Structure 1
C-alpha cells in the first residue's frame, strides 16, 4: 500500500489518486494529513503539495485538486519525454507535471462544463476538446502517464509491487434499428413504401416486399451471427437496445411486439443486454424511468448498463438520472464522429460530479471508436485505425471497446471489414 501525505485532503484528490493507483496500476493507496504518521510509515510513501517536506518522493501540486467549483484554466502543453503533459512542476518534483491534477481535468470532463460551441444536435464536439486541439485524443494519455509514473516509483522503492494486468476486450453493439423492414406496422411500412417509390428506390421496395412475405430474411437481423461469434469468445459483449422512439419516425418500430421482445431475450440469454436510452429521455426523467422499467420487464433482471443512443452527454444531468435509477455503468463516453479517448483513459472510471463535488458510484466505460466515426472510410483505413488504437491500449493493459451496430454486419460488400473485425480482431488479442 502507498501512503500519500497532503496538507489538504479533498474528494478531488482521492478520486484522481485512486484512479491512477488503484484502477490503472492496481495498488491500494491511503491518505494522511498527519505529519507524524507520514514520517513513521516505513513502506512506500509520497507527499503531494506546494513544497517537499524533505527528501521524500514528492510531486508538486498544481492547485486544481484543492479547489471547488469550475473556472477557466489556462493550459500550456509540454512533454514528458515524448508524451504531451500539462500543469508543469518545479525541479524538486519527482515528475515534471502534476499528473493528478491533469488526470482529474480530463476524467471529470472539466472542459465540458465550461462555455463551448455545441454541434447541431447540442453535443460537445471533439474539436472543442484539449486533446483534439493538441493531437493526443487517440492516446489513452492518463494510462500512459500512470505507467511512466510506475517506472519512476519502481526506481525509488525497491519493495513496491504492482500486479500483472493484461488487455481486456469489451465489444459494444448498439441496436437502434433491429429490423430494416419487419415489425414496423402497417402505417410505417406504407410510409416507407411511398418514400422509396417517390425517390426511385425500387430495389428497397422489392426487398421490403420479400421480407414482409417471409421469402427473405430482414437484412438488419444479424443477431444469430453476432451471438454465435460472441459465444465462442472470451471477450465481453454488451448489446444495447432502443426502446424509445427513434429520431426518424419511419425508423421506429413497436417495441411492445412479441418478435422484438423475443429478440432481446434471445441475446440476453448469452450476453449482457443494456438500455439504449432515447433522445427524449434526456430531458424527461419519467421517460427514462419508463424505458428502464420496460427493459427490466423484458429481460427479467435489473438493467445495470446504459448508453445514450446519439452520444449526447449533458453533464451532469444525464448521469445523475442514471444514478437515481441505480444504473451501474454507462457507455456513452465517446465521440460519435471522431476516434479517440474522450476522457483521456482506457480504464473504466467513476463519474465525478463537479457541481456537487462528489465521487459517484456510476462507472463510465470509455470507448475508443464508434463505427459511425469511420462509416465512409475504406476498409484498409478502418482496420489500421482499430489496430493502432488497440495497440496503444494493450501497451497500458487497459480495456479496448468499439461500438458497432447490427447494421454493420449486413451482407453488403462495404460491411465485410466490420464482419471481419468483429469475428476475428475484436474477439482475441495476441
Structure 2
C-alpha cells in the first residue's frame, strides 16, 4: 500500500507521533522522549566466494557475454579468476576486512548475517561447516563486529529447519541474537514468533525488496506485539531501510544512488531514528559492481554518526 500510494519513503508513524507530541506540549503536557540517531551497517552473506569452483567461473563468463553483453567484463572475470587462483589477490567476495575497516573508521560495528546452510539445500551456495567460513566468523568476532543469522529459503514456515540452522551457527558464534531472513521472506506473525521461540532477539527482515523506504512506516526499532495471542513476543524489529540491489535497480547513476541514500538518511536523523543499511559482501569488487567500493565509502562518510 505504501508503494502504491507513494509514501514508502516517509516514516508516517514518526510523523504522526511527532504531531501528537507537539499537540500535547501546547496544552501543557510535559514529556521527554530522548533518542539518539543510530547507524546499523549490515551485510547478508548469500555467497562466500565467487571462484571457489570452476563451474562458477564458467557461469560468470557466460553471464558476461549472454546477460551483460560486455567483453570488458569477460576479460575482467578472466583476470580475477587467474589472479585469485595464483594467490595474487583475494576472492572478489572476500571483502570482510574491507567492510570491517570502513565501519571502524566511522565508529560502528558491521553485522554479518550468514546463511547456516548445507550444500544441497535450496539456494545454498556455501557450507557453513567450511573451515574458511568458520575462520572468517571467528575473525569477525575477534575484531568486535557482530555475526548474525540469515536463515535460508526453506525456513519460511518451517520451524524445524529454522531451529536446525540456528543451532548450526551457534556452534561457531559466541552470541547469536539477530539476523534477517533470506530474500526478506516473512510470513506474519508466524515467522517472527518462530524467531522468538528460537531464542533470537532482533529481526531486520521488514524492508522492501524492490525499492527503499519505511516498510514498517517507522524509522526506529520496536518490540513486536502478537495481535493474535494478544501479547508481547519479546522480539525487537529493526526495520531495513536501504538495500544495495534494490536502490541500484531504480537509480541510473552512482550519484543518484548516493543522493537517494542521503535524503532518506536525513529523514531518519530528523526523527533521531535508526538508519539500517544492507550492503552485500559480494557487491563491491566484482566486475558487475565495478568501483562500487568507492560509492560504499562515500555513503558511510555521509551517514556516519
TM range (shorter): 0.7 to 0.9
Counterpart residue number, 1:407: 282
* Superposed displacement of residue 132, structure 1: 1.9
* Superposed displacement of residue 235, structure 1: 3.1
TM-score normalised by structure 2 residue count: 0.86
- Residue 336 of structure 1: SS of its match in structure 2? coil
Residue 295, structure 1, aligned to residue 159, structure 2: no
Counterpart residue number, 1:162: 32
> Taking structure 1 as reference, are residues 422 and 176 closer, same or farther at Cα in structure 2, changes over 3 Å only?
farther
> Taking structure 1 as reference, are residues 251 and 204 closer, same or farther at Cα in structure 2, changes over 3 Å only?
farther
Counterpart-to-counterpart distance in 2, 1:315 and 1:369? 21
Counterpart-to-counterpart distance in 2, 1:192 and 1:416? 22
* Superposed displacement of residue 307, structure 1: 0.5
Counterpart-to-counterpart distance in 2, 1:166 and 1:285? 35
- Residue 144 of structure 1: SS of its match in structure 2? helix
* Superposed displacement of residue 293, structure 1: 1.3
> Taking structure 1 as reference, are residues 426 and 407 closer, same or farther at Cα in structure 2, changes over 3 Å only?
farther
Q: 1:323 aligns with which of 173, 192, 196?
A: 196
Q: Which one has the largest radius of gyration?
A: 1
Aligned length: 291
Q: 1:308 aligns with which of 177, 181, 184?
A: 181
- Residue 310 of structure 1: SS of its match in structure 2? helix
Counterpart-to-counterpart distance in 1, 2:107 and 2:198? 30
Q: Which runs of 4+ in 1 moved over 6 A?
A: 246-251
TM-score normalised by structure 1 residue count: 0.62
Counterpart-to-counterpart distance in 1, 2:192 and 2:124? 27
Counterpart-to-counterpart distance in 1, 2:120 and 2:223? 30
* Superposed displacement of residue 163, structure 1: 4.1
After superposition, where does 1:342-353 map in structure 2 within 5 Å?
Answer: 342-353=215-226
> Taking structure 1 as reference, are residues 379 and 283 closer, same or farther at Cα in structure 2, changes over 3 Å only?
same
> Taking structure 1 as reference, are residues 287 and 410 closer, same or farther at Cα in structure 2, changes over 3 Å only?
same
Larger relative contact order (Cα-Cα within 8 Å, sequence gap ≥ 6) = 2
> Taking structure 1 as reference, are residues 283 and 205 closer, same or farther at Cα in structure 2, changes over 3 Å only?
farther
Instruction: Kindly indicate whether the alpha-carbon contact (under 8 Å) linking 1:366 and 1:401 is maintained by their aligned counterparts in 2.
Output: yes
Instruction: Kindly indicate whether the alpha-carbon contact (under 8 Å) linking 1:170 and 1:236 is maintained by their aligned counterparts in 2.
Output: yes
CA RMSD of aligned residues (A): 2.5
* Superposed displacement of residue 371, structure 1: 0.9
Counterpart-to-counterpart distance in 1, 2:135 and 2:228? 42
In the TM superposition, what whole-angstrom CA distance separates every residue of 1:57-99 from its partner, at most 9, and x where no partner exists? Answer: xxxxxxxxxxxxxxxxxxxxxxxxxxxxxxxxxxxxxxxxxxx
- Residue 132 of structure 1: SS of its match in structure 2? coil
**Runs of 5+ in structure 1 lacking a partner?**
1-128, 183-188
Counterpart residue number, 1:272: 146
> Taking structure 1 as reference, are residues 248 and 288 closer, same or farther at Cα in structure 2, changes over 3 Å only?
closer
- Residue 174 of structure 1: SS of its match in structure 2? strand
In the TM superposition, what whole-angstrom CA distance separates every residue of 1:362-402 from its partner, at most 9, and x where no partner exists? Answer: 11101211112122431111111111111111111111111
- Residue 363 of structure 1: SS of its match in structure 2? strand
